[in-house]
Amino acid sequence: MINDIHRLDPEIRLRPVTESDAASLAAALTRSRTYMSPWEPRRPDAFYTEQGQRERLAGILADREAGRAMSWVLADEDDRAVGGFNLNAIVLGPFRSATLGYWVDVEYAGRGLATTAVRLICDLARDELRLHRVEAGTLLHNVASRRVLTKCGFEQFALVPRYMHIDGDWRDHRLFQRVLHDGPVTGAPAAPGA
């Protein structure tokens, strides 16, 4: 279920983000700052503090309540957040689409966690949110992220010039999508905030 805790490997679980993740998110983002900086928007120093994360989480949780987004963290054995996964811009009606974003703590990268989490989130998006497609964008040279997406069944459908402001400039992006199903639009979706 969308609000359940899912074990990804012996050490790491995927679970919905909560307000109490602010401190561990600030710590994980701080130690991963240099590693992530080529792939991320420039952030003010306040973003890397517990208070900055508390403010960010307030927006994330409000979006979840409103059914606009769903956010998970990777949680270690001590339940500290060591990565983040978001389905943003959830749109229903005939589009039934969402945009996927993710990061993994530098200390946990390269062991298959992003691939396992993205596969699981796509299953939840199809079976519980009843979405038709999930979209994700990467910088042209983000080979690791592209590899995650292609392993999870995403296909590139566009190459967009100056798409997003990343690492200090407007950068070209590859856009990928995974079509989750081609069935009819039936029933109400599970509410992310339920």
Ligand X SMILES: CC(C)(COP(=O)(O)OP(=O)(O)OC[C@H]1O[C@@H](n2cnc3c(N)ncnc32)[C@H](O)[C@@H]1OP(=O)(O)O)[C@@H](O)C(=O)NCCC(=O)NCCS
Chain contacts with ligand X (rule: CB under 6 A):
36, 39, 102-104, 109-115, 138, 142-145, 147-148
Checking DSSP bridges between strand 6-7 and strand 97-104, what pairing results, if any?
Answer: unpaired
Q: Which is nearer to ligand X, 108 or 130 (CB)?
A: 108
Q: Is 5 helix (H, G, I), strand (E, B) or coil?
A: coil
CA–CA distance, 117 with 100 (Å, rounded to integer): 11
**Could you give the angle at the alpha carbon of 90 between the alpha carbons of 85 and 92, nearest 5°?**
150
Residue 106 CB, nearest approach to ligand X (Å): 8
**Least separation in angstroms between CB 105 and ligand X:** 8
Closest CB to ligand X among residues 65, 123: 123
What are the residue ranges of helices labelled H in the chain? Answer: 22-31, 33-36, 50-65, 113-127, 143-151
Minimum distance from CB of 93 to ligand X (Å)? 26
In whole angstroms, how close is the CB of 165 to ligand X at the nearest point? 14
Nearer to ligand X, 42 or 111 (CB): 111
Report the alpha-carbon distance of residue 83 to residue 76 in Å, rounded.
Answer: 10
Tell the smallest beta-carbon distance from residue 61 to ligand X (Å). 22
Q: Which of residues 36 and 89 has its CB atom nearest to ligand X in the complex? A: 36
Give the total residue count for the chain.
194
Q: Two tokens at 49?
A: 């503090």
Which residue number, 70 or 152, has a Cβ lying nearer to ligand X? Answer: 152
